[in-house]
């Protein structure tokens, strides 16, 4: 299966994401934000963490208007898979592919540490390798991870089982402890934590391995 | 022609930065500050000479990029 990792000026987790995808058996191409097309046969688009365009205006705002995003949106709209991690989640909300917005952390501090997440649904390619309610350790590293959406949107996300991960001990003020959400067709996922930083024996946690392995096997079956 | 765009968080959206500023003002002895909301001002230099046309175009810019209308409202001022 083929993955395309988008690179923006200021992305800094693009290579980590590519390494994690390759370890799970994916064929990865790095795609520059000024490109207008994804490589033919792309199954998964990865939008990496970092500080695209220096977080100018709003996190992810400028990246979300990059030339490649038209192709990414078209890919998602025709049922393609996409994952946005950290800044990638911010980009996905700015494009409108996922609802809500990531605001400044409740305590106004940048937080960089490994935290506990709860797997809220296994009904997605991203979470199929976990068990329902499983608690996993994944690093976070963000200043703007405070997920906010209106109460109707949050109720809909919960009701449809589209909350993928919640924080066990909410670090940033996110509504309903939300750490990651799925699109309506469950093929686009955005999350603030970094599973790609928990995917190597040298990392403090390997709980992200399941994320990429599950994704690879679900894509292989698709 | 210049346009000035004011971007503010919508009412009801918690503003952690505004809250921090409010606390700091209290620490400095400014009592009675009941609320602080922090926003952005964006100034644009435009080639357009027609104020109404400029207002329409800047409105589109706000919708497409300058504001995230999920949480922010905007006001366009032609100056």
The total domain count for chain B is 1
Residue B41: CB atoms within 10 Å: 10
Tokens of A209: 């391995």
Q: How far is A156 from chain B (nearest CA, A)?
A: 16
Q: Which of A61, A106, A146 faces B65 most closely, judged by CB atoms?
A: A61
Asked if the Cβ–Cβ distance from A100 to B64 is below 8 Å, we say no
Q: How far is B59 from chain A (nearest CA, A)?
A: 17
Asked if the Cβ–Cβ distance from B17 to A104 is below 8 Å, we say yes
Query: Which residue ranges of chain A lie beneath pLDDT 50?
Result: none
> Is there a catalytic annotation at residue A184?
no
- Predicted confidence (pLDDT) per residue in B39-65, tens digit: 999 999 999 999 999 999 999 999 999
Q: Is A193 left (phi over 0), alpha (psi -120 to 50) or beta?
A: beta
Looking at residue B16, what is its pLDDT? Answer: 86
What's A144's domain CATH number?
Answer: 3.40.50.880
Looking at residue A151, what is its pLDDT? Answer: 94
Burial of B17 by CB count in 10 Å (0-12 exposed, 13-18 middle, 19+ buried)?
Answer: middle
Nearest partner of A78 among A4, A185, A163, A214, judged by Cα: A185
Residues 6+ apart with CB under 8 A from A214: A125, A126, A127, A128, A129, A130
Provide the domain limits for residue B74: 2-78
Looking at residue A175, what is its pLDDT? Answer: 97
Backbone angles phi, psi at A84, to 5 degrees: -125, 125
| Cα gap A145→B49, rounded to integer Å | 41
Q: Which of B13, B16, B71 faces A108 most closely, judged by CB atoms?
A: B16
What's B33's domain CATH number?
Answer: 3.30.1280.10
What distance lies between CA A192 and its chain's CA centroid? Answer: 7
DSSP conformational letter for A119 = E
Average pLDDT over residues B1-16: 93
Provide the domain limits for residue A145: 2-221
Active-site residue, selected from the candidate residues A75, A142, A194, A203: A194
- What is the pTM for the complete model shown? 0.94
Q: Which of B13, B16, B65 faces A65 most closely, judged by CB atoms?
A: B65
Tokens of A148: 């906010």
Nearest partner of A196 among A179, A213, A177, A221, judged by Cα: A213
Q: How far is B5 from chain A (nearest CA, A)?
A: 13
Looking at residue A222, what is its pLDDT? Answer: 62
> Is there a catalytic annotation at residue A194?
yes
Backbone angles phi, psi at A8, to 5 degrees: -110, 160
């Amino acid at each position: 299966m083929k993955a395309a990792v988008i690179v923006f000026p200021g992305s800094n987790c693009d290579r980590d994401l590519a390494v994690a995808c390759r370890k799970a058996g994916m064929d990865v191409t790095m795609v520059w934000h000024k490109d207008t097309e994804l490589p033919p046969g792309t199954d998964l688009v990865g939008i990496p963490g970092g500080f695209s365009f220096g977080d100018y205006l709003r996190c992810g705002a400028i990246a979300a208007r990059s030339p490649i995003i038209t192709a990414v949106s078209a890919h998602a709209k025709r049922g393609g898979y996409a994952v946005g991690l950290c800044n990638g989640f911010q980009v996905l909300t700015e494009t409108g592919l996922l609802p809500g917005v990531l605001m400044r952390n409740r305590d106004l501090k940048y937080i960089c540490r490994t935290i506990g997440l709860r797997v809220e649904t296994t009904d997605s390619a991203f979470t199929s390798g976990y068990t329902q309610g499983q608690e996993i350790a994944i690093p976070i590293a963000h200043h703007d991870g405070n997920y906010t959406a209106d109460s109707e949107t949050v109720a809909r996300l919960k009701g449809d089982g589209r909350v993928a991960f919640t924080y066990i001990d909410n670090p940033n003020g996110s509504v309903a402890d939300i750490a990651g959400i799925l699109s309506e067709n469950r093929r686009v996922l955005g999350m603030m934590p970094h599973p790609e930083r928990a995917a190597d024996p040298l990392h403090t946690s390997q709980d992200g391995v399941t994320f990429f392995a599950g994704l690879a096997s679900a894509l292989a079956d698709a | 022609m210049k346009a000035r765009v004011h971007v503010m968080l919508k009412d009801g959206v918690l503003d952690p930065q505004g809250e921090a500023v409010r606390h700091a003002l209290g620490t400095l002895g400014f009592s009675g500050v009941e609320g602080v909301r922090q926003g952005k001002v964006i100034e644009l230099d435009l080639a357009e000479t027609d104020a109404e046309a400029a207002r329409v175009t800047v409105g589109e810019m706000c919708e497409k990029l300058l504001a995230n209308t999920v949480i922010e409202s905007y006001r366009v001022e032609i100056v």
